[in-house]
Structure 1
Amino acid sequence: MQILKINYMKLDLLLLNKMKITSVNNNLIEEVLSFKETKVQKEKNKYIIEGLKMVELAIQKEVVEMILVEERLFDKYKHLPNVVEISDNVSKKISDLKTNQGIFAVCKIIENKEYIDSNYLILDGIQDPGNLGTLIRSAYAFGFKNVICSKDSVSFYNPKVLRATQSNHFDLCLKNEDLTFFIDKLKQRNIIIVGTILRSESSSVDEVKGEQVALILGNEGQGISKAVTQKLNINIKIKTNPDLESLNVAIAGSILMNNFYSQN
């Protein structure tokens, strides 16, 4: 299992000195914490994960740049490069959870990852981290291996998003795109653009004919933007109790992806 080379001079010095970080104000810890911020993630192409399962998978996917681990787990990972031992109080500072597993990793965002020959889930202005994480997990479950977000959506690498994905984000192509331009490119490839607009003219999933589809879901409050709506080939609706006003976007998206998956 290879771990990518990291270029932090301060980390190199830390490793040379075999230090254990015990201060939450340590410069390296402050830098690690900054990778939770969307702006820094975009600038540095790095994000932070936590938990045994997610870190182990990240190592397998060869996207890890650094591991931070408490003393109780240090022996298991000390043979790997760029492993830093941290104290319990530092672990609590890094974690977003009341109870954590004492292991974290800084990972590289793979920007040039190629699109997968599969269906597309396109998300227009999704803001809730839990919704995005759930949709990513459902996309993995139901064969939508490309998840595309508008540039104003919540970050794929928000800690709450990552927790909700249950590590499934590693196996998908995740990208931010200019949606109108991107959808035009999909249409040139005869990919069917499917939307979910609350209006009377709608079809069922069974009526969507095509080898590949791009399912578009909109913002939790505003729905799909007007510019993106104009790009749709077909509008579909989920049959529900008529007394129900609407479904949560993550629930609706999961149902629709399952319907498309069941067709195949």
Structure 2
Amino acid sequence: MMRIREKLRECRNSGQAILATNFYNFETLTAVLKAAQAVDAPVMLQLTRSSIEYMGLGQAVRMGRQGLADYGLEGWIHLDHGPSLELVQRCLDAGFDSVMIDASEKPFGENVAETRRVVEMARPYGAQVEAELGYVPKLGQQQGGGFTTPEDAACFVEQTGVDSLAVAIGSAHGFYKETPHLDIERLKAIRAATDVVLVLHGSSGIPHPMVREAIAAGISKVNLATEIKDTFMRALKSELAASDEIDLRKVFPRAVDPVVKLLEEKYRMTGSARR
């Protein structure tokens, strides 16, 4: 199987993107795998610190690897928004294919130093490294401002040797209060100024044509998380309200199906679906 670094470079060169999906439990993992199998798409499974704490690092990785094998999928496991070098090291030791260090809220120099350290840590494992530059609001944070500049991106990449870079071009984590507008011209300029894979965080709620425009302008990895959680929980609440069934093995699968449908559309949106 191709390493994720090479797969992402292939996407960059072909003008396509991988859909990178977070999973939180067995059911959301199953939804990702079923959708990817249905449309024949590569899979990038993402785990955050909170998901790792919830499921346990070893168990989460084993679930992901076994799921990829059971469904016969090309796929990788990625640490999303790693907050510390300690967690990055644990994930590398656990066999992650890719890790993200998120020092984006720190001063530029500290972000550079931490990212460069993670690049050095990941090298013996052959793992690819993602970082974030600029202000991509997290849940509860105010949107707007702090966009990535082409000059900063070029300097950051040169000083760190990072493989992938999440850029701030108008997206945000979580849902949007208003329809977002991505700065496509800024994205094109960043793409021209750097030779790394560019990543779009916060795709939940962005209109599909706008995401496709961003991919055409240089995005090669699209993160999806909030819509997965939201779709699953809405469906689960509806099932629970309409039934007295106590067997979760009967109720939970009904909440998986809407997530599968959502993800099939998202895989097609990114152009990674092969059927």
Range class of TM-score, shorter chain: 0.3 to 0.5
Of Structure 1 and Structure 2, the greater helix share is in 2
What TM-score comes out, normalization by structure 2 length? Answer: 0.34
Higher relative CO (CA 8 A, sep ≥ 6), structure 1 or 2?
2
Of Structure 1 and Structure 2, the greater strand share is in 1
